[in-house]
Amino acid sequence: MPYPAGHRNEVRKKIVQSARRLFNRHGFDGVSLKQIMEGAGLTHGGFYSYFKGKSDLYVEVLGCFFTDPEWKSCWEGVEVDLSSGDVGQQVVRAYLSRQHFEDVENSCPMTALPTDVARSNVSTKRAFETVFRAMVSILERSSAGIGAPRRDQAQAIAALCVGGMVVARAMADRGYADELRDACRGVALALGGWTNGRKLKSGDHRRTQRARAAAS
């Protein structure tokens, strides 16, 4: 009996979702294809009908809500509307949120896999770069900072978000990790020209300059 329309796409999504959870939790080298397929509720033998190998799958896993419209963050209480004119600060708040910090398995892979990517091949690095560039693009179009070019601000904000979460998760002291996230969020919001849920006005220039100096 033939499979229903869309079956193949659904199976592929299950494999990617399983791999994302496991890679985020254990890293690329710490996860086997058998574990990935079991996590998707599938048999090991069916893997190669969908992907050439583990590295091929890895490239597809390196996505986030910036590049994959069907990516589900599962961060309760956190919403990001990519069509909103206020999306920049939404992204910053979501990325450095407590929910993202705690939900390791459903993280944006940029926070869990950067060291793996650095050791990987060019195609994997390009996949990582694609996601980062997408984040920068979203931040750039929403930025209202004063002084530096919007692209420079957006790149710095994206780096603060990703790097801040990576370092926070490496901390043993949860209180210090939370303090670090709060600091990164505050500086990132100021750099982007967002404060207290609004865009900065010209009178807020000094605060933006102080944030930029703190990030330098």
Q: How many domains does the chain have?
A: 2
Domain of 37? 1-61
The residue among 61, 92, 111 that closes a domain is 61
**Residue 4 sits in a domain of what CATH number?**
1.10.10.60
**Residue 141 sits in a domain of what CATH number?**
1.10.357.10
- Tens-digit pLDDT profile for the chain (216 aa)? 556 767 788 999 999 999 999 999 998 888 999 999 999 999 888 899 999 988 889 888 888 888 877 776 668 888 888 888 888 999 999 999 999 999 998 888 899 888 888 888 898 898 899 999 999 999 998 876 656 678 899 999 999 999 999 999 999 999 999 999 999 999 999 999 887 544 444 344 444 444 444 444
pLDDT value of residue 205: 40
Residues 42 and 101 reside in one and the same domain: no
Residues 44 and 76 reside in one and the same domain: no
DSSP one-letter code for 60: H
DSSP one-letter code for 192: H
Phi, psi of 194, deg, nearest 5: -115, 135
Residues 74 and 23 reside in one and the same domain: no
The residue among 20, 38, 61 that closes a domain is 61
Asked if residue 208 lies in contact with residue 146, where contact means CB atoms within 8 angstroms, the answer is: yes
Whether this model's pTM surpasses 0.85: no
